[in-house]
Amino acid sequence: MRRNKITVVGAGNVGATAAHWCVAKELGDVVLIDVVEGIPQGKALDLMQSNPLDGIDSWVKGTNSYEDTADSDVCIITAGIARKPGMSRDDLLNTNFKIVSTCAESFARYSPNAIIIVVSNPLDIMTYAAWKASGFPSNRVFGQAGVLDAARFRTFVALELGCSFEDVNALVLGGHGDTMVSVLSHANVGCIPITKLISPERLAEIVKRTAHGGAEIVDFLKTGSAYYAPSAACVLMAEAVLKDKKRIMPVAAYLNGEYGAKDLYTGVPAIIGGSGVEKVLEIDLTPDEKAGLDRSIQAVRDLMKVVGLA
């Protein structure tokens, strides 16, 4: 029986850790590709040598050639420069636009039936760039947005209440940046509305911390950005595809009229399965939440104009 094949583009912290999560979950064989010679080969060999210790049989290959990625089922694109202190995700725009476009086009040439998951920032624009460069149907290209942001929100809520992380449910929509919208009207803890458990003042602080969750980590690290949670989030999305799980997740999906927007990618709840984004789900939002989402969508569109995508 043929095993799943997963390509991870970019052998930096996010890419290498994503490869590790894929192997740990035995989602399939992994190809780790990077433009820097030796780095993907060394990290892949090191990762594969952990298999006997963990009782895992995933094959891992490091390479600098897209030919080795042929016939992949899923591609996770993490390539691009990382944020430094004082930089916003948007500061990465022009450099990463060129990098992600080249990666998506090169990958699609060898795996025309695959699904692409984008992690590179600024996320919404990079996902659109990957879609255009790959030539894939829009449902087969989507980005990691709200899965990571909601995980951060859930973490902060669990810490606030001293409860299990598992019992916190939340949605974070819109652009993966400072304009993201934490949807409090649909957040709960063990089925209890979150507004019944946390004061409006504390919730406002948690919402703000969520929006700046990545920057907070960058400020601590000084010379790098987050990679454990981002890589875990994108691998969760890849797992939903490879196992056709039909998970409902907030992802950067292509909108064609949903939420009043067309021809862009942004964070919305969607059903993720074997064919990628199987359905974008439109949910009721409060007037403030809808206004926030509209502002976030406009911010995404403004960035698209900078690189000639709108």
Which DSSP letter does residue 191 get? T
Residue 282: beta bridge partners? none
Is the dihedral angle over the CA atoms 200, 201, 202, 208 positive or is it negative?
positive
Least confident of 42-46, 82-86, 222-226, 261-265: 82-86
pLDDT band at 195 (very low <50, low <70, confident <90, very high): very high
Domain shared by 152 and 105, yes or no = no
Tell me the mean pLDDT in the region 37-63.
97
Domain shared by 91 and 175, yes or no = no
Least confident of 25-29, 60-64, 215-219, 262-266: 215-219
Pick from 79, 84, 83: which is nearest to 99 by CA?
Answer: 79
Radius of gyration of the chain (CA): 19
Question: Which of 95, 110, 144 is the last residue before a domain boundary?
Answer: 144
Domain shared by 256 and 179, yes or no = yes
Tell me what pLDDT residue 259 has. Answer: 97
Tell me the mean pLDDT in the region 264-283.
98
Question: Which of 94, 114, 144 is the last residue before a domain boundary?
Answer: 144
Is residue 23 within 8 Å of residue 51, measured between CB atoms? Answer: yes
Tell me the mean pLDDT in the region 280-289.
98
Is residue 79 within 8 Å of residue 100, measured between CB atoms? Answer: yes
Tell me what pLDDT residue 255 has. Answer: 98
Domain shared by 249 and 186, yes or no = yes
Residue type, 194: I
Structure-model confidence comparison of residues 95 and 230, the more confident one? 230
Is the dihedral angle over the CA atoms 81, 20, 232, 221 positive or is it negative?
negative
Structure-model confidence comparison of residues 178 and 30, the more confident one? 30
Question: Which of 93, 117, 144 is the last residue before a domain boundary?
Answer: 144
pLDDT band at 157 (very low <50, low <70, confident <90, very high): very high
Structure-model confidence comparison of residues 178 and 261, the more confident one? 261
Q: What angle do CA 59, 252, 281 make, to 5 degrees?
A: 115
Tell me what pLDDT residue 177 has. Answer: 86
Strand 60-63 vs strand 74-77: parallel, antiparallel, or unpaired?
unpaired
Euclidean distance between CA atoms 290 and 276, whole angstroms: 26
SS3 241: helix
Tell me what pLDDT residue 1 has. Answer: 76
Strand 192-193 vs strand 247-256: parallel, antiparallel, or unpaired?
unpaired
Q: How many domains does the chain fold into?
A: 2
Give Cα 167 to chain centroid, integer Å: 22
Tell me what pLDDT residue 88 has. Answer: 66
Domain shared by 158 and 135, yes or no = no
Tell me what pLDDT residue 202 has. Answer: 98
Domain shared by 108 and 69, yes or no = yes
pLDDT band at 180 (very low <50, low <70, confident <90, very high): very high
Query: The CATH number of the domain where 227 resides is what?
Result: 3.90.110.10
Q: Is the pLDDT of residue 54 over 70?
A: yes
Tell me what pLDDT residue 112 has. Answer: 98
Transcribe 251-264 into DSSP letters. EEEEEESGGG-EEE
SS3 310: coil
Where in the sequence is the domain holding 108, given as residue range(s)?
5-144
Query: The CATH number of the domain where 107 resides is what?
Result: 3.40.50.720
Domain shared by 153 and 124, yes or no = no
Q: What are phi and psi of 196, to 5 degrees?
A: -85, -10
Is residue 3 within 8 Å of residue 27, measured between CB atoms? Answer: no
- Residue 211 CA: distances (Å) to CA of 30, 73, 103, 214: 32, 32, 28, 8
Q: What angle do CA 302, 306, 310 make, to 5 degrees?
A: 65
Q: So which residues are the catalytic ones?
A: 176
Tell me what pLDDT residue 83 has. Answer: 66
Domain shared by 168 and 178, yes or no = yes
Work out the mean pLDDT of the chain and round it to a whole number: 95
Q: Give 76-128 pLDDT, tens digit per residue.
A: 999 998 766 776 656 778 889 999 999 999 999 999 999 999 999 999 999 99
Query: Which pTM value belongs to this model?
Result: 0.95
Tell me the mean pLDDT in the region 226-243.
97
